[in-house]
Amino acid sequence: MIKKLSALLILLSTSLHGLAAIHMSPRMGSSSYSGPLDTLILMIVGMGALYFYYKSFLKWIKRRTTGEKPERKLGLDDWGITLAGYVMVSIFACGPIFEILQSIGDYQLVRDTWYIVFIFCFGLLFFLRRT
């Protein structure tokens, strides 16, 4: 339980550090300003998605140690719903990562690397849940 809470606090503090750095300077290159409430909601939803990644990682470790297989997907509709869910969780998990990247670099860094971050998040989730 303490390991879970410490990992959650580390993720939360990292995300809040990015949030604080973003609102200390104005956003450049954006046609519409995203207020602090929008960013806070994005961070909360993103933290939920990152917590889902954390739980998936713990389940993956448990499956690896016991040698059990993941739940089978039966049809095309089952795979479609699963992949759509993975895409949504990956999009929300990218939010805090984008905020941190924007605090390190600038808006241009996020524009140049968004697809790499998304593909990494999606691939990681697919790997953790399906192997």
The dihedral sign for the CA sequence 97, 57, 85, 112: positive
Instruction: Write out the two tokens for 95.
Output: 């939010």
pTM of the model: 0.68
Residue 24 pLDDT exceeds 50: no
Helices (H), ranges, the chain: 2-24, 36-66, 76-104, 107-130
Taking alpha carbons only, the member of 103, 85, 107 closest to residue 30 is: 107
Instruction: Write out the two tokens for 34.
Output: 């995203």
pLDDT digits (tens, 9 = 90+) for 43-54: 899 999 999 999
Q: Determine contact, residues 21/96, Cβ cutoff 8 Å.
A: no
pLDDT digits (tens, 9 = 90+) for 70-126: 888 878 888 889 899 999 999 999 988 888 888 888 888 888 889 999 999 999 999
pLDDT-derived band of residue 11, with 50, 70 and 90 as boundaries?
A: low
Q: What's the rounded Cα separation, in Å, for the pair 86 and 35? A: 28
